[in-house]
Chain A
Amino acid sequence: MTAVDEIKIGGMGASRRRVEDNRFIRGKGNYVDDIVLPGMLHMEILRSPLAHARIRSIDASKAWAMPGVRLVLTGETMAARNLAWMPTLSYDTQAVLATDKVRFQGQEVACVIADDPYIAKDACEAIVVDYEPLPVIVNPTQSMADGAPLIRDDKENQPNNVIYDWEVGDKEGTDSAFAQADLVSKIDLHYPRSHPSPIECCGSIADFNRATSKLTVYLTTQAPHIIRAAVALVAELPEQMIRIISPDIGGGFGNKVPVYPGYVASILASILLERPVKWIEDRTGNLISTGFARDIYLHGELALRKDGRILGVRMNTTADHGAFFSDAQPSKFKIGLMHSAFSCYDIPNAHLLARGVYTNKAPGGVAYRCSFRVTEAMFFQERMVQAAADDLGMDQAEFRRINFVRDDDFPHRTPWGFLTDSGQYGKCLDVGLEAVGYQDFLMEKEEAAKRGRLLGIGISTMTEPLGAGNSREYDILGIKMFDSAELKIHMTGKALLRTGAKSQGQGHETTWAQIVAHELGIPAEDVLVEEGDTDTAPFGMGTYASRSTPVAGAAVAMVSRKIRSKARKIAAHLLEISEEDVEWELGRFYVRSQPDRGVTIQECAVAAYSNMPDGMEPGLENVAYYDPPNLTWPFACYIVKVEVDPATGVWDVLRMVAVDDCGVRINPMIVEGQIMGGLTEAYAMANMQFITFDAEGNCIGSNFTDYLLPTAWETPGFELHEVVTPCPHHPIGAKGIGECAAVGGPAAFVNAVMDAVKGSGVRNIDMPVLPDRVYEALQTGQDISGAPPVKM
């Protein structure tokens, strides 16, 4: 009897096929919209056509009169139950249904609940709302102007449209670093508003049962337990009587973290009507009202020494939060983890000033495939770095290398005080440069330039903080950012694992079982993974910010170790030796002096129910709550080669090389899938995506004709490479990987195009780098700034 083969049982490092795909590819997934309950009614939302207007009156009498209409909710109905406003995750308030005025186009004004969704939609059109239009604000400049109309006149102590001014870092030290600089490199950048756009829009089915007093809500949420707590607080229902079920989720990307008005309205409607009420959002509703991402401006400065060393960094950001400050982020910092910028570089002095403002645009500021503004931080960082290298006339790879934190300099305090614990930044860059053929390409580029062809190469290197969090700095509504896992080993040695995370496509059902296999030697296929039901799953904070593996995944390892610890006692009992003489190898305990005498973990499981030692509780079950000591710090190097067509401004990606260091890889296939998905989104952000607004606040980007999702047709091929630096504090050495490519990728694409056009004097084209913007920049030699203007 020898230890089991870890790869054969689907343990760590096995590219095991995704268990969940069995049902997805057969069309047997179970999404919120698939669920049909007896007597279920349907809800539709009437949204504001105007971006800023006072509501004079709402006449819903025609809607009420339509056959099949059961209920019409307005702000007045909500206000009577103290539900017209709800708290946001950023300690602001957000209207559920508008009472006084509407503050963005698409804001929820009324809800109709009817026998079918068609009646509900028609009835919404029959509601007459009398609006008094007000002046509209669509960008921070207008928002901060003297005499700007006050958007949040509902709030006390809100004299203007500024939400916060926040700063971090050492201003004096940074000023003196700039005073000593040989050169100061400056750049102004805009990260345009984009949208996570999960393929499944948001939705809910609220089912209040008067007889049992129990409220069950099927919900498209990435964090069911937090929602349960929020519903308990907002609806003032006892928490044990609330059950949130998050079934299969068709993508989240941060969009499904917040609480949306539709959820609240459907819950109230079910309580009032005592019938299940289903709300399924349409695409336009999702794009114009739910959590957007980015929309932030930067003025950045780097203090440089002639030899290429960065002496100091200044960042001054202005974030456009829309009508309500509802950034879904749990850190104690107003602008999330923006100050994690430059963490891979050794910079002694740094100062960040951040301002947030209200505008008449949809609220949100969700962490779209990122950890709370980390995407913006890393994009700004890498654009500033490339501009600085160009200003110095220094090779961009070399400039990065001389400023990297060295491998022997960990743990390292970042410019703004985070603690990084490991990394091989130089090696990661070298692997990328080698793979892409950097030196050869520089010559090829020079040759091509002689024939009027514009080639360019862009690099983006970064380390980002993933896996919120540690409980000292991260909480939601005061709840610390731990996570959990509960493992039950059945008598036959099979297992049931539940965690407080919630997969939206990440493959938890596959990878969690692999961690159990790694820790206990139980084949992954013998482990059933369940998530998303608050009545059965242990309390956890959900899945976003790449926190599943860093936090819940660690809990899975820790609960497995607790099980192993009890199994060891059982093994000692079965082998009739003292516990100290028991040795472990994967899947089996044995006698130290007689390695062939042993018992398998499965045999221990039987004994846990049938032959336990005297005085031991029966059973082999446990739960672990894991509060990580630090964030995890994956590192990446992305390199893009492009050719720009000067006559059309079209740019083609010639090659894209990605080197990721996410520590130990649990399932390499899933990791690669995550990286490719992230790079695809990065390409789309750089190339085509933006949501903009005209002067009246009309949202341009309210459907997939205007807001573009990339397809396989135009997405370039990606070449993936890896470096492995295990995370020193994670039980299995893993770090987050869900977001790295989407975070670090955009700058590589933009840097490549900027490298191609820099001969014309152009230093920056803001995203998306559309052909017309490239063409205009090449024609004029001028930078192109801001969101693409709407010239109708």
Chain B
Amino acid sequence: MMKLRFASPEMLVDINEIPDLDYHRVDDDGTIRVGAVCRHADLERSSLLDTRQPTMAAAAPLVADPIVRMRGTLVGSVCHADPQGDWASVMTALDASIIAQGPNGRRSIAVRDFVLGPFQNALAFDEIAVEAVVPTPRGMPAGGYLKLERRVGDYATVGVAVAIDRVGSQVGRAGIALTAVGPATIAADAAAQKLTGRPLTADNIGEAAELAAEAAQPKSDHRGSADFKRQMVRVFTSRILTGLLRSEEEAA
């Protein structure tokens, strides 16, 4: 932002040296906590996420490029509030929150309320984001993240995050969020609703994919036409859910 002369702050504060913010961990109840300076690469290489949070595990290796993943952080990405950012979608699909800390203590802000618009977040001027919190799953977590990019490290043309918690053969909870197809990260709630409280089937996957595509508000640009982007939302939603259905069938 500074290089493009969009921002000219009078002062920059480096939070890298604040101790004990580089963690990510899973609490006993299954809550996942990611500290403000935990790098993308830490999540990419984490042994915790594969089973405990598959949507995050799927997204971590797709964030930016390897160089950025060594430096950048999940919390920083959510704060940046770029509609093309991957983590905001993943966190939205997971109903995650950001913990803000300021002179008056800590407060929790749901990610879907935290991102106000392009490059705007809900932090007060005297607060910093210290942690992202992914709530305890209501069942066995499953999910995925798919992204179309023109080249590794390019901004997403389209990204789709799907997270479901399975309770027996039913979907206990579902979240779907969309990257780069609107002025901010989009929560495709109607699509997620379609899946909740019933088993995954080819039919409701198709309906959810259709509703996700309807929720998208893409614009035509040099990354593709609006129609094409909407189609990618449809395809990606369907592919993630179909993959989950298939692995469910294989397990059975």
Contact = CB atoms under 8 A, between A and B. Distances in A.
B30 interface: no
Interface of B is mostly: loop
The 10 A-B residue pairs with the shortest CB-CB distance, nearest first, are A791-B220, A772-B224, A713-B152, A772-B228, A708-B151, A647-B235, A688-B150, A714-B152, A700-B222, A714-B151
Nearest to A706: B222
B221 A791 contact: yes
Contacts of A772: 157, 223-225, 228
Contacts of A710: 151
- Which of under 10, 10 to 19, 20 to 34, or 35 or more describes the interface residues of A? 20 to 34
Nearest to A713: B152
B148 A705 contact: no
A711 interface: yes
A648 B234 CA distance: 10
B154 interface: yes
Interface string B224-252: 11001001100100000000000000000
A648 B235 CA distance: 8
A714 B224 CA distance: 19
Nearest to B224: A772
B65 interface: yes
B139 interface: no
A14 B113 CA distance: 64
B231 A775 contact: yes
6 contacts: A705-B154, A708-B151, A711-B65, A713-B65, A790-B222, A791-B225
Interface string A748-792: 000000000000000000000011100110000000000010111
Interface in A687-724: 688, 692, 700, 705-706, 708-711, 713-714
Interface string B203-226: 000000000000000011111110
Contacts of B219: 792
B145 interface: no
A664 interface: no
Nearest to B234: A647
B153 interface: yes
Contact of B232 (A648, A688, A776): A648
A672 B213 CA distance: 46
- Which of under 10, 10 to 19, 20 to 34, or 35 or more describes the interface residues of B? 20 to 34
Contacts of A144: none
B114 interface: no
B2 to A, nearest CB: 13
B221 A790 contact: yes
Contacts of B152: 711, 713-714
Contacts of A708: 150-151, 154
Q: Which residue of A688, A775, A790, A792 has the most chain B CB atoms within 10 A of its CB atom?
A: A775
Nearest to B150: A688
A491 interface: no
B87 interface: no
A777 B235 CA distance: 17
Contact of A776 (B154, B155, B157, B225): B225
A632 to B, nearest CB: 34
A162 interface: no
Interface string A632-660: 00000000000000011110000000000
Contacts of A792: 219-221
A772 B221 CA distance: 11
Q: Which residue of A692, A714, A772 has the most chain B CB atoms within 10 A of its CB atom?
A: A772
A692 B222 contact: yes
A710 B151 CA distance: 7
A161 to B, nearest CB: 26
Nearest to A703: B4
Nearest to B226: A791
Contacts of A714: 151-152
Nearest to B222: A700
Given A711-B65, A713-B65, A771 B151 contact: no
A391 to B, nearest CB: 29
A711 B151 contact: yes
A706 B221 CA distance: 11
Q: Which residue of B66, B150, B153, B155 has the most chain A CB atoms within 10 A of its CB atom?
A: B150
Contacts of A713: 65-66, 151-153
A244 B182 CA distance: 52
Nearest to B151: A708
A775 B219 CA distance: 17
Nearest to A694: B222
A711 B228 contact: no
A546 to B, nearest CB: 27
A64 B169 CA distance: 75
Interface string A339-359: 000000000000000000000
B221 A770 contact: no
